[in-house]
Amino acid sequence: MVALILSIIVTAALAALVYVYGSRRPTGTPLTWGEAMVGSVYAFFLTFLVFGVVPHQWLTLAENELSFRADRLFTFWGLVVPQSEGGWFPFNITLRAVSDSIAAIIYIVALGIMVKMFIDWQSRSKEKKDAGVIPTSTYGRPLVKRG
């Protein structure tokens, strides 16, 4: 449990640092070779944490401490009892399938967050360029009346 929570906290902190660095870095600044290498290693490590460590820690927790094994059925506190056990639900769902489904949800959510981070990083200069721009006429004069 501690390993899963710690891996989620470290991953969230490293992802937040991307936004902190992106807000401080001036747009249009040329990227040096060293910055590109550090950025690529950082992005690879963050991807490794998101898609490797966090789901692994969840599956380890589910298998060992929570006992989500293939021989145990998902009954949802007696509400979803399969027909093979005398209930109404038409098929059996094992707890292994539930833990794998949660791992798949972790992957899907992480992919969505990663795409949003890519979009935010690529569009960070557009927000700053449009801020504070006074529209001008074709002659270059400001259209806003100064008072």
Condensed to tens digits (0 to 9), the pLDDT of residues 66-117 reads 999 988 888 888 788 888 888 888 889 999 999 999 999 999 999 999 999 9
Do 106 and 54 meet the contact criterion of CB atoms below 8 Å apart?
A: yes
In this structure, the number of other CB atoms found within 10 A of the CB of residue 5 comes to 11
Per-residue CA distances from 95 to 54, 63, 70, 72, 74 (Å): 19, 9, 6, 6, 5
Do 94 and 73 meet the contact criterion of CB atoms below 8 Å apart?
A: yes
pLDDT of residue 117: 93
pTM exceeding 0.85: no
